[in-house]
Amino acid sequence: MSTRPCAVVGVGQTHHKSRRLDVSFGGLVREAVFRALDDARMTMADIDAVILGKAPDLFEGVMKPELYLSDALGAVGKPMFRVHTAGSVGGTTAIVAASHIQVGKHRTVLAVAFEKQSEGNAQFALGSGRGASLGAGGAFAPFIRAYIHRSRAPEHIGWKVAVKDRLNALKNPYAHLRIEDISIEKVKASPMMWEPIRFLESCPSSDGACAMVLTDEQGGDAAAADGRPPAWILGASSRSEPASFPGRDPVRPAAALQCAADVYNQAGITDPRRQIDTAELYVPFSWHEPIWLEAFGLADEGDGWKLVEDGTTELGGSLPINASGGVLSSNPIGASGLLRFAEAANQVRGAAGEHQVDGAKVAIGMAYGANSQYFSTWAVGRSLQPFG
Amino acid sequence: MPSRSEMGRGGDIAIVGWAQTPMERHTEKSETQLLMDVISAALAPLGLTRADIDFTCLGSCDYITGQAFSFVSNLDAIGAWPPKRDSHVEMDGAWALYEAWLRLQEGDIEIAVVTGSGRSSTGDPSLIYPMEMDPYFLAPLGADPLTFAALQARAVIASGIADERSMAEVAIRSRSRGDVDALLAEDYIREPLRRHDVPPITDGAAAMVVATGDRARRLVERPAYITGFDHRTECHNPSFRALDDSPSTRLAAEAAGLGDGPIEVAELQAAFTHEELLLADVLDLGDDVSVNPSGGALRANPIMATGLCRIGHAADHVMSGGHRALAHSTSGPCLQQNLVCIVADTP
Amino acid sequence: MTRFVASTITFPYKRSLGPVVGAFMSALTERRILGIRNGAAVLVPPMEWDPTTGAELAHDFVEVGPAGTIKSWTWVPFPSEQHPLAHPFAFALILLDGSTTPLLHAVDAGSPNAMVEGARVAPRWRGTRLGRIDDIVCFIPGETPETEGDDTGPTEEPVTRMDYLASITYRNPVPDATDRAIEASKDQCLLGLRCPTCKRVYAGGRGYCPIDALELGPDCEVELPHVGTITNFCIVTPVQYPGQTETEPFVRAFVLLDGTDVIIPYAVVIDLPADEVRVGQRVAGVWASPAEEMDEGGGMGGAWGALTGWIPNGEPDVDDPDLVNRIF
């Protein structure tokens, strides 16, 4: 690829909650935007273009919100773009934003993604208002059942992931769920939602926003010189596959495998397990952790659950996954993908605070959407050549 | 000194073909069926199949279609197997083209297909569009697009850029029929707008094939090179804007390099007659420029594809022997957001 | 002749207003209209941010109006169901006294002849005010506000939320393939369509192959068996939302049809309690009588018409745990 370097120099997010009743639609987004700008030591005037991502507008009942939010995002007189790729949208937002810089169209862009889903009802929106909506987990429970069978994973793996992510969330001041007394027993005792997925193995429904400031090589170098090392984009990719057709494997989707291969190829990653220090994977239901570990080559096929079992993916382990608490702890649907990309960036910037993975130099952020069909992934590094 | 590509120009990217479905008041086909047809129609003359497509970007709107995640069904029209590099914008296909134009400049792929689709006959636009307005002050009043267009028309008339007669003339030119005096004798439907001043309801879809320069030159004799491409937005509430102007159009045109040379054709997404006159004025188009030879949005207005069709018609002008053309797309009340794409016979 | 199906998406959204819009709406209940200062300007309606720069505005409110001047207007001869008035009215940009930007609202002028730029208008207040922009029913000619009905006074607490009922009706075409499948189901025929290129078979009224992006016509029809094996399933514990129809955990199963690679996804099961569903279970299709309601599709699985669900047929289970991988 003949692309120019692109760096993440600012990250901001809201305090994610089930209902942010204290803010308006614009207020929610601006909270994240100003945090990101402050983090980048910039103002709205420094931004050349705004890229907004969001899940279906049916969630809030505001159609094409980039129109209403144009002035709120300081985009007047600038390009304003809206992407929508289902659950992976936050990731796509970052990738499209980066594209502007990588081809030299702009120098500094703002990527924003959000959801104020408490204004509506997520289950309603997912089913487009019809009865007997499967809900988010209904589509995935059969995939998870298939994974458990294939891998012969013991039943407690899902519970372990759920506990790990909520414990990590306690170290993330922005996380929605803060369950101080989370435990295997508590998860196991929680109500069954979509057999075998229990309530405490499921993501919450959150109001929240995430914003990211991306800039060019000059801007990235300036931030580094100022003692604020950026996250350099090492590779980025998106792939989609159709929802349903005979022969489709939704547990190890081809789109995921190809997306990962593409990113690793761009980033010079030949041994993901060794070369990636930490990953933010889109895990809305606990079992997605071992599933994505395998699809993204961080574990061999069938062995993803073993990395959960032996503590590898815990914050103190050799490959921490979702140090931020992940989607399991905060899930403003449109923003969740961008949060994964942003948290990965923060790790290699050394800006992850209490949930920092020590010495993280290379991280990946991954998001997926719809029926495990849309995949967006990026790899970021503390330097442009992390492997020498 | 900003680089050439930073100024909205750049890349060696060209449109090599496009297709549109029949523009109908009311189609019996679903949006996915429309897309299936039109993607095949765009690829066939180039000797390409879906397997040849490196990147797809779709433009559509859930609220027009009436279903959350409606674009997921549209993915079935692409033949995304093996999996495709693919994206979607909740905007007109013109913006899907913008994303593809950036993506192709990354240099690792050669061919992209972008689409715009919508069945505006599915719902009643006057009831759907208020939902894109300020949720506190405007949506609850059911403030509809016809109302905003009328208010802008008044401002444009007051400024002297248009009058009801010149607006009627735009309608007649666009639809190739009508008599000015007869049209002006009709009642207003939203004063000062009459039926002829407003767009038709149209169901339709468009698909366009774009390629990097070398590939484009191998595919067709005369690719339509995208020499400039930019879009800008303004503040949302029309109350805060001067409605007799379109500053974002001016900015986008400047950034896209309109001033770099003459154009023969301007395809403007003007859904209302006064919009065409305003845009032509803002873009400072001389009498030597042919405005909307296709009939524009007043002849056919397939929501979410209308802008892409403008770009398609502009590309046709170049591909059939013309030198340089401008295409425009818009979104939001009173031309809130505007996109300008310039195509030419050389990169 | 294609059939069309109407569906209405309705939802009562509930918005939180934030500090600026909240203050404005609370003031409306007091029959006061607020603008917000932005340098020398006074913005009505008030915004949290400067519309040009995006800068945060200090909460420096200014009471404006209640009367104002018409700056521009248009006549609405046929109001929609969402408009503020049910009889013809004007929408106008009204510059309230003390404001530098106009407010869009309705004017109950009686006729377009009464609408003139520069004319003076004042609010007609709703008797019971909730803190919504339509606490002003509309504006009326003249300087003097009036109140419609009994004035129940301002709300007790400051207004922080707002209701918005969205209801849009859509008419979408039912693809031919769906209707053919539903029609065939009336004769207890489970129709599939085989793609001539890749040979995959699609059921549930799905009329095209997403692999080859090919429309599948009647010449592609194949008849599928009504017997199959459950390969996977999902037990959903329902949550409540407007439009929800379920109250108890319900099952959706994946049924692999005998002798084929066709899997019926998210199938309804009959006489099969959630705690008895198993991989390998043998089931047969259950058909509704012509008088009963047809499944017209629109759900995740497809359109099945008279095929209302799948019932255990008493055959011994198929002992093949790997069946669970057969989801698509």
Domains of chain B in sequence order: 4-124+200-219 (3.40.47.10), 125-197 (no CATH), 228-342 (3.40.47.10)
Q: What pLDDT is recorded for position B122?
A: 86
pLDDT band at A89 (very low <50, low <70, confident <90, very high): confident
- Which amino acid is present at C59? H
Beta bridge partner(s), residue C72:
C93
Name B337's bridge partners.
B233, B331
Give C241→chain B minimum CA distance, Å: 16
Hey, what are A150's tokens?
A: 């294939």
pLDDT 10s digits, C8-60: 888 999 999 999 999 999 999 999 999 999 999 999 999 999 999 999 999 99
Res. A335: pLDDT tops 80:
yes
Q: Which residues pair with C171 in a beta bridge?
A: C6
Q: Hey, are the CB atoms on C245 and A131 less than 8 Å from each other?
A: yes
B5 and chain A in contact, CB less than 8 A: yes
Distance of alpha carbon A90 from alpha carbon A376, whole angstroms: 9
Across the interface, whether the CB atoms of A68 and B134 are under 8 A apart is answered yes
Chain C contact for B49, CB < 8 A? no
Residue B28 vs residue A153, higher pLDDT: A153
Give the H/E segment covering residue C38. Answer: strand C33-38
Per CB-CB distance under 8 Å, the chain C contacts of B136 are 15, 17, 21, 25, 45, 133, 162
User: How many whole angstroms separate alpha carbon A327 and alpha carbon A337?
Assistant: 9
pLDDT at residue A121, rounded to an integer: 82
Which residues in chain A are contacts of C238 at CB distance < 8 A? 132
Q: Does B123 touch chain C (CB under 8 A)?
A: yes
Residue A124 has a CB neighbour count (10 Å cut-off) of 24
For residue B131, the chain C residues in CB contact (below 8 A) are 166, 168
Q: Which of B53, B58, B62 to mutate to test the interface with A (most CBs of A within 10 A)?
A: B62
Question: What are the tens digits of pLDDT across the range C221-247?
Answer: 999 999 999 999 999 988 877 778 888
Q: How confident is the model at residue C298 (pLDDT cuts 50, 70, 90)?
A: low
Average pLDDT for chain C = 93
Looking at residue A129, what is its pLDDT? 64
How confident is the model over A164-175, as a mean pLDDT? 98
Query: Measured between alpha carbons, how far is A286 from A159 in angstroms, rounded to an integer?
Result: 7
Contact assessment for residue A236 and residue A95, using Cβ atoms and an 8 Å cutoff:
yes
Which pLDDT tens digit goes with each residue over A68-85?
999 999 999 999 999 987
How many angstroms separate the most distant Cα atoms in chain A?
57
**Domain ranges across chain C:** 3-167, 175-325
Spatial contact of B317 and B249, defined as CB atoms under 8 Å apart:
no
pLDDT at residue B4, rounded to an integer: 40
Token pair 């859904």 is found at B271
User: Mean of the pLDDT values across residues C192-208?
Assistant: 94
pLDDT at A174 over 60: yes
End-to-end CA distance of chain B: 21
The answer on pLDDT for A203 being more than 80 is yes
With beta carbons under 8 A apart, name residues in chain B contacting A241.
80-84
Identify the pLDDT of residue B7.
44
d(CA A246, CA A243): 10
Q: Which residues of A touch C11 (CB under 8 A)?
A: 58, 61, 120-121, 124, 129
For residues B302 and B273, give the distance between their C-alpha atoms in angstroms, rounded to a whole number.
Answer: 17
3-state secondary structure chain B: CCCHHHHCECCCEEEEEEEECCCECCCCCCHHHHHHHHHHHHHHHHCCCHHHCCEEEEECCHHHHCCCCHHHHHHCCCCCCCCEEEEEECCCHHHHHHHHHHHHCCCCCCEEEEEEEEECCCCCHHHHHHHHCCCCCCHHHCCCHHHHHHHHHHHHHHCCCCCHHHHHHHHHHHHCCCCHHHHHCCCEEECCEEHHHCCCCEEEEEEEEEEEHHHHHHHCCCCEEEEEEEEEECCCCHHHCCCCCCHHHHHHHHHCCHHHCCCCEEECCCCCHHHHHHHHHHCCCCCCCEECCCCHHHHCCECCCHHHHHHHHHHHHHHCCCCEEEEEEEECCCCCEEEEEEEECCC
Largest CA distance in chain C: 85
Chain A neighbours (≥3 Cβ pairs under 8 A) are: B, C
Q: Is the pLDDT of residue C71 over 80?
A: yes
Interchain CB contact of A26 with C (< 8 Å): yes
**Phi-psi category of A300—alpha, beta or left, where left has phi over 0 and alpha has psi -120 to 50?**
beta
d(CA A83, CA A61): 17
Collapsing DSSP states into helix, strand and coil, what is residue A25? helix
Predicted pLDDT of residue B9: 59
Put simply, the answer to whether A85 touches B87 (Cβ < 8 Å) is yes
- In contact, B154 and B148? CB cutoff 8 Å: no
ipTM value for the complex: 0.95
Label residue C116 exposed, middle or buried (CB < 10 Å: 0-12, 13-18, 19+).
exposed
CA gap A14, A34 in Å, rounded:
10
Query: Count of alpha carbons within 13 Å of B167, Cβ hemisphere only?
Result: 31
Burial label for B295, CB within 10 Å (0-12, 13-18, 19+), is middle
A25 touches chain C (CB under 8 A): yes
Q: If you average pLDDT over every residue of chain A, what do you get?
A: 95
Residues in A 226-245 with any Cβ partner in B closer than 8 A: 237-243, 245
Closest CA relative to residue B231, chosen from B342, B116, B346: B342
Going from the N-terminus, what domains does chain A have, and what CATH number goes with each?
Answer: 6-120+205-225 (3.40.47.10)
pLDDT of A128 > 80? The answer is no
In tens digits, chain B (347 residues) has pLDDT values of: 444 444 455 679 999 999 999 999 999 888 989 999 999 999 999 999 999 999 999 998 878 777 767 777 888 899 999 999 999 998 999 999 999 999 999 999 999 999 999 888 888 889 999 999 999 999 999 999 999 999 999 999 999 999 999 999 999 999 999 999 999 999 999 999 999 999 999 999 999 999 999 999 999 999 999 999 999 999 999 999 999 999 999 999 999 999 999 999 999 999 999 999 999 999 999 999 999 999 999 999 999 999 999 999 999 999 999 999 999 999 999 999 999 999 999 99
